[in-house]
Structure 1
Amino acid sequence: MVDQDKWTTEEFGTSHEGRVGVLLADGSVPAPVYFDTGSGSAGRSVTRWSIYDGSSPRIPQAAALRAVCSCGWTGPEHRLDRVSIAGEGLEEAGDEQADACERDWDGHTARVEACAIPLPESVTVLLERLEEEIDRLTRTSPAAAVRAARRLEVTAERVGYWAARGTRAGLTTAQAAAALGVDEQAAILLMARFGRWSPYS
């Protein structure tokens, strides 16, 4: 069984990693469910929402689902019907609520993007046009598209160097993280990579 279904965006990565969270009837978050595989220490703990169906005394039954994000944000509760869970199993009975959780998280990441420092429209248009041109080139000459992607990578490294150093000089780590829409650790690693310094310095 998959432990968790997780959602990320290409830009924000694990800074805003979402998943379906579970709430019990008393409003608490259940502990992971441990499965003993019978081979000593080879058991595993599972926290995937569909596990919490109340099928045994050691597995509590979910009362609601909600989206949760690695940044600490949580979405609204989506209540579950106990009768449906008993008759269909949580995987089927909670499918609609789980889908609603993913939509909630989509809205959350849209707000994160809206709060990040905006890019000038001219830059956004150029980036979109460049992606389209490389996609088009891939259909006629994949090798040329690889070369174009490599040139783009070199350009990003060159322009990112001074951008990262200017950001480091002008903003605190917290301010940089907010501007980029990521957590502070991700901001440190990103700026260190572009600015070519050790993230541990």
Structure 2
Amino acid sequence: MLLADGSEPGPVFFDLGSGSNFHESKSWWHYNGEFRRPTAVTMRGRCACGWRGTRRYPIDWEKVREDDDPDAYDTTGPYAEWEAHLDEVAGRAVALPGDLTALLGQVRERLDRLWLEEDPERGYAAVLRACGELEAIVAETGPEAARALAREQEESMPAVAEALGMTEKAARARLLHYEYLGR
């Protein structure tokens, strides 16, 4: 969302009563000017990584109020830009080898079918057992890969984040998660 001056507003806070905590939101429909909130005049795509779309899409508040359903309002423009950004980020990420991609797809498909082929109790138990096996593989291989990447982390964190297809903050969190998984 953008205000008339082109700035991006901070979160909207909701006082729900006598507590010390306030709910906050950055959902576009809360910037409607009601209850002394700022009024957004346009929206654009944005991502947690800091990317912002280039196109601005006007908000017709009369239409929003008329429909009385913000989910019915056409936001396909900003979402399409955001999805294109995500595709671009994914395109820069390290590609998995084709055989591994196929194998992971087969595992996912087989787990999806597993409880349908067995009685529910045995099927769910088999799915959980398979998940345990997958977790064991991750616990064995993930920490070593994370530690190897962490050695070069500070000099190459932007490159590591790009290779993983995520923000630097998310990449750091993933490295820490896997680095200490087996401990």
TM-score of the aligned structures, taking structure 2 as reference length: 0.77
Contact 1:134 1:149 in 2 (8 A): no
Give 1:11-50 correspondences, 5 Å limit: 22-37=1-16, 39=18, 44-50=23-29
Sequence identity of aligned pairs in percent?
34
Counterpart of 1:69 in 2: which secondary structure? Answer: coil
**Unpaired stretches in structure 2, ≥5 consecutive residues:** none
Counterpart of 1:67 in 2: which secondary structure? Answer: coil
Residues paired across the two proteins, number: 173
- Tell me how far apart the structure 2 counterparts of residues 192 and 68 of structure 1 sit (CA, whole Å): 26
- The equivalent residue for 2:134 is 152
- Tell me how far apart the structure 2 counterparts of residues 151 and 40 of structure 1 sit (CA, whole Å): 45
**Unpaired stretches in structure 1, ≥5 consecutive residues:** 1-21
- Shift of residue 41 of structure 1? 5.0
- Shift of residue 100 of structure 1? 2.8
Distance 1:124 1:33, change over 3 A: closer
2:147 counterpart (165, 176, 199): 165
- Shift of residue 186 of structure 1? 2.6
- Tell me how far apart the structure 2 counterparts of residues 62 and 90 of structure 1 sit (CA, whole Å): 17
TM-score of the aligned structures, taking structure 1 as reference length: 0.71
Larger strand share, 1 or 2? 1
Deviation sequence 1:99-128 (CA, Å, 0-9, x none)? 332232222111111111111111100100
Distance 1:146 1:40, change over 3 A: closer
Give 1:74-153 correspondences, 5 Å limit: 74-75=52-53, 76-81=55-60, 83-84=62-63, 88=66, 91-92=69-70, 95-96=73-74, 98-139=75-116, 140=118, 141-153=123-135
- Shift of residue 50 of structure 1? 0.9
Contact 2:43 2:78 in 1 (8 A): yes
What is the one-letter code of the residue matched to 2:173? L
What is the one-letter code of the residue matched to 1:69? C
- The equivalent residue for 2:30 is 51
